[in-house]
Structure 1
């Protein structure tokens, strides 16, 4: 009775899987999942960015002040001197009977350290909340930058956090200075939209007033985006900010100039409507990244939660600002710490050198295995080819990026896969020399070699896992390739070749020179 050869079935399925899913990557077809090439192989831009996390803390303090302003307006609480001093929100409640209501509202804002002196309140963020805000600002910056790059149309951008405050950005395919400049501007643009009330009472003093004098009235002095000689005196605490923006699209004004139309969420729309309704005849400054783009007069209550930004944009500028607004404002300023460009010709040279190394390594291993182990070497080579196909197929399925260290990992995997086959074949040869029959030598050879192969591969796999956990960029790519290669080599060497021997067992046994199958004289 013929026993079902499950090992051979699994091996054949592995071959089919490897070939089918690796073809799109090998032939670069238009359909199917493909491996994308890393920065070092196709060229592009590598940047190390630093996030000013203290700005995120300042921004949160400003948000607390805004919440207090609108709570007091909604509840008709009379407060005075609402301002920000040394990362603290300071204000005074004018009616002591209203303090319990204010205390109840402040309980709803988490992470505050509240101190009171008579009717005066001083609010600070707790040390725990400051640390949490700083950590969250970096995570938000990573997500915001990734969203912007996705909408910009770049293929396979890499945006990962590095350390406490740094972000690594890799943009494969950036080939021109213009593309590089556009990408850098999009990444670093804060896109911090604020709607701020113009201080009409002191507006005519803006050119004679200092910043410290303005701060005494709870104001700040901002410049016009098109003319830095034009200045505006606006209230420091904004009415609305970019967090309430849900959409931004490029449009055109009556003179056919590009503008940006933005839409607010329900909360923003309500606040915007209430403010414009109470301040008809006054000016509202539209501020983007600390520059006033326009300060129109409010003619009537504006409902619907929509507005526009005009500022003499080009179509490209308007499009990039709209992308940045849709993706959300950066929680803090992002600065460029390091930049490295890899030219496409250098990437092509790397691919060529890697392919030469891979083909040379394969060829030498193939020739050695056939000369030394004869037909057993041919079987090992079949497993070796399957191993590479499986690596490429798995990487393609998961959308992995192939880097130069990753290609080095494939070359190294070839050696490791051969090593497993050598251990098995050598053990079979020893048993044949000791007088074992071919079938028994094959079965015992696999059984005896199994432990050594598993020990070696599991140890290497653990190291690869650690490299992936604590490494960055190229190191992670190397670790992924090695991990897939180890699992594939165990599949092909332990199951695959064993299944082939089982299928050929009767033929090997009938062969008068069956020992020569394994290079034994």
Structure 2
């Protein structure tokens, strides 16, 4: 008969209370959002009176998780970028030149002198003076090949080496190109994610599309141009020996040299060695700061390997200038006054505070491995998001009112009980979304509206079954007990199939589709819980107090 043990009642009540408690911060969205931002700012940069006031606007002992608003609700920027993966091939082959040179020097008696030749971006060409030693040269260079570490490249090497007369041609193998493409895209995604996270945006969407494209959607950012300025710069920092200065960018730079413009003086160009002494890959930290004159600078620190290379170079070149190069522009070219063994230094220039802060963000996040070409960009204003939120509220209220009225007129007192459970259900949906840090999008609102309609399905099944049992002259308690027992299989089957659909949508979909899947899945879980446990508990408590001889459903 109808009997729910005390411990089950406590568990059901506790779950409902926790769900509503975690949903409560969304009723005070701006206050809680300001509290969360202030707490993060205090942890990162210390306390100020304004931050402490914002942090104190919400009690610290209460949950502070919010349902994050997606791009279509909050406004923000949308970018679709193409990664120029072919650029990485040239960088990779250029980096192999020292190894190839050293390997051929060991065979100098056989191959003679060696000289690097002008090459296409996807080739490294080296000429030897003694063509009869070509086989020994090919063997020496092939010994540099390494196995490819990837599922698709098992058993393959990373380079292919061929001879053309007296020229050795080194290219990347097709398997290595594919592996390099995958690594480049993954590295690009990670670096973009770091750069976006550095500025504190919420729930960005950063994912791969196709073979060489990346989708970036960042809610809350001002414009697509602002997002492009943050992630579009490769921020490749390198340190080069300076060969000289010139005012003519078209003059010959010399073998293995480059002519780069000065960031501070457009009329000045620096001739630098192409091979850097140290690169930004050896950086461990970069922070905005001020120099002794109060001007904005960026301080940096190398890892042990970078500090050793930087220190060795400064020891050997005291009194010589060296160039700090950022994205093919010479930021500064100071003269080495003394050996720098600490592994740290600073980048100075005509920076504003905002520029120094952004440069530090870019350097901390790391350099993009390849240039990005933006194929599509959109800025979604917050006004559009506010309109979407308002439309979603209206849709939810209309659906909610329609369901409440239908259930009350169709099932009387039992319909009112189902409506109480529906109110709890909607609160628990938002509590669950807040607890897992989910992002609510416009399709997600559609998922909540659909959940409101589906939430009473289980109650309809139970109530109709109770009606059938009452027609069989069963007593009220027995009819209710059999109604829940016999409707359970239909409720579970219907909701499991819908949950499977939501899981598939989440796994295979992207962006808005995943947002819909998340809210639909959360709604299914809370709907089943409220229909099977909450409504039954309310009915049992009502039956225990009123003990009716007959009931009407």
TM category (shorter chain) comes to: 0.7 to 0.9
Aligned mate of 1:158, from 182, 205, 213: 205
Instruction: Indicate how the Cα distance of structure 1 residues 137 and 312 shifts in structure 2: closer, same or farther if over 3 A, else same.
Output: same
Q: For the residues of structure 1 that align with 2:147 and 2:274, how far apart are their CA atoms?
A: 21
Matched-pair contact (CA < 8 Å) for 1:145–1:187: yes
In the alignment, structure 1 residue 81 sits paired with structure 2 residue 138: no
Aligned mate of 1:33, from 61, 65, 78: 65
Aligned mate of 1:192, from 208, 223, 236: 236
Q: Secondary structure at the match of 2:234?
A: coil
Q: Aligned residue for 2:187? A: 140
Q: Aligned residue for 1:286? A: 324
1:37-67 Cα shifts (integer Å, max 9, x gaps): 2222222222222222222333333333466
Which runs of structure 2 are paired with 1:13-92 in the superposition (5 Å)?
13-28=14-29, 29=32, 30=58, 31=60, 32-65=64-97, 80-82=114-116, 85-86=119-120, 87-91=122-126
Q: For the residues of structure 2 that align with 1:34 and 1:94, how far apart are their CA atoms?
A: 70
Q: Which moved more, 1:31-40 or 1:111-120?
A: 111-120
Note the C-alpha offset of 1:104. Answer: 10
Matched-pair contact (CA < 8 Å) for 2:161–2:169: yes
In the alignment, structure 1 residue 127 sits paired with structure 2 residue 127: no
Stretches of structure 1 lacking an aligned partner (at least 5 in a row): none
Q: For the residues of structure 1 that align with 2:219 and 2:511, how far apart are their CA atoms?
A: 13
Which runs of structure 2 are paired with 1:344-355 in the superposition (5 Å)?
344-355=382-393
Q: Aligned residue for 2:153? A: none
Q: Secondary structure at the match of 2:80?
A: strand
Q: Secondary structure at the match of 1:336?
A: strand
Aligned mate of 1:414, from 449, 452, 455: 452
Instruction: Indicate how the Cα distance of structure 1 residues 255 and 12 shifts in structure 2: closer, same or farther if over 3 A, else same.
Output: closer
Q: Which moved more, 1:274-283 or 1:426-435?
A: 274-283
Q: For the residues of structure 1 that align with 2:306 and 2:4, how far apart are their CA atoms?
A: 72
Which runs of structure 2 are paired with 1:427-466 in the superposition (5 Å)?
427-466=465-504
Aligned mate of 1:173, from 208, 220, 231: 220
Matched-pair contact (CA < 8 Å) for 2:246–2:268: no
Q: For the residues of structure 2 that align with 1:303 and 1:104, how far apart are their CA atoms?
A: 38
Q: Aligned residue for 1:386? A: 424
Note the C-alpha offset of 1:127. Answer: 1.8
Q: Aligned residue for 1:11? A: 12
Aligned mate of 2:463, from 396, 403, 425: 425
Matched-pair contact (CA < 8 Å) for 1:47–1:338: yes
Q: Aligned residue for 1:515? A: 551
Instruction: Indicate how the Cα distance of structure 1 residues 470 and 83 shifts in structure 2: closer, same or farther if over 3 A, else same.
Output: farther
Q: For the residues of structure 2 that align with 1:380 and 1:208, how far apart are their CA atoms?
A: 81
Note the C-alpha offset of 1:360. Answer: 1.6
Q: For the residues of structure 2 that align with 1:102 and 1:252, how far apart are their CA atoms?
A: 51
Q: Aligned residue for 1:220? A: 258
Q: For the residues of structure 2 that align with 1:146 and 1:480, how far apart are their CA atoms?
A: 22
Q: Aligned residue for 1:237? A: 275
Instruction: Indicate how the Cα distance of structure 1 residues 236 and 91 shifts in structure 2: closer, same or farther if over 3 A, else same.
Output: farther
Q: Aligned residue for 2:49? A: none
Q: Secondary structure at the match of 1:198?
A: strand
Q: Which moved more, 1:368-377 or 1:26-35?
A: 26-35
Note the C-alpha offset of 1:228. Answer: 4.2
Q: Aligned residue for 2:159? A: 113
Instruction: Indicate how the Cα distance of structure 1 residues 207 and 337 shifts in structure 2: closer, same or farther if over 3 A, else same.
Output: closer
TM-score by length of 2: 0.81
1:78-98 Cα shifts (integer Å, max 9, x gaps): 9853577322344578999x9
Note the C-alpha offset of 1:447. Answer: 2.6
Count residues in correspondence. Answer: 505
Instruction: Indicate how the Cα distance of structure 1 residues 412 and 208 shifts in structure 2: closer, same or farther if over 3 A, else same.
Output: closer
In angstroms, what is the RMSD of aligned CA positions? 3.4
Q: For the residues of structure 1 that align with 2:357 and 2:532, how far apart are their CA atoms?
A: 56
Matched-pair contact (CA < 8 Å) for 2:159–2:176: no
Q: Aligned residue for 2:398? A: 360
Q: Which moved more, 1:454-463 or 1:491-500?
A: 491-500
